[in-house]
Amino acid sequence: EVQLVESGGGLVKPGGSLRLSCAASGFTFSSYSMNWVRQAPGKGLEWVSSISSSSSYIYYADSVKGRFTISRDNAKNSLYLQMNSLRAEDTAVYYCASPRRGSGYYLPFDYWGQGTLVTVSS
């Protein structure tokens, strides 16, 4: 059974940093591209970032480019999101998501974690 478990969320002041983790199990993590998607309270879904299976290709939404860094450790079956220069508008539940098969970019988000809440407030 595929499992994605996010952690690392919490309360942080504007301008602060936070590192999210996503522990994957139940599939060959190193063969799949991975993604972060967020959802602000009461709002819709917003794609944040994607990383290919070997970390060769990385993409960011314009809203986080230059502040967030996605990475992965295939040996540890883990995905990360380093978030710097956080703003109030980054407050959201952050989900990691993966396709069911393949490492391509244009794949749906088949599997989702339960999400971790990041609150940016003074």
Positions in the binding site for another protein (CB under 8 A): 35, 37, 44-47, 50, 59, 61-62, 95, 100, 105-106, 108-110, 112-115
Q: How far is the CB of 39 from another protein (least distance, A)?
A: 8
Nearest to 4 by CA among 72, 55, 69: 72
Question: Is residue 4 within a helix (H) or strand (E), and if so which, with residue range?
Answer: strand 3-7
Phi then psi for residue 75, to 5 deg, are -70, -25
SS3 121: coil
Least gap, CB of 56 to another protein (angstroms): 14
Rg, the chain, Cα only = 13
**Minimum distance, C-beta of residue 111 to another protein, in the bound complex (Å):** 8
Distance of alpha carbon 106 from the chain centroid: 17
| Whole-number Å distance between alpha carbons of 58 and 39 | 21
> What minimum distance in Å lies between the beta carbon of 13 and another protein?
27
- Residue among 16 and 47 whose Cβ is closer to another protein: 47
Closest to another protein by CB, 21 or 109: 109
Question: Closer CB to another protein, residue 16 or residue 115?
Answer: 115
Q: Which one, 15 or 26, has the nearer CB to another protein?
A: 26
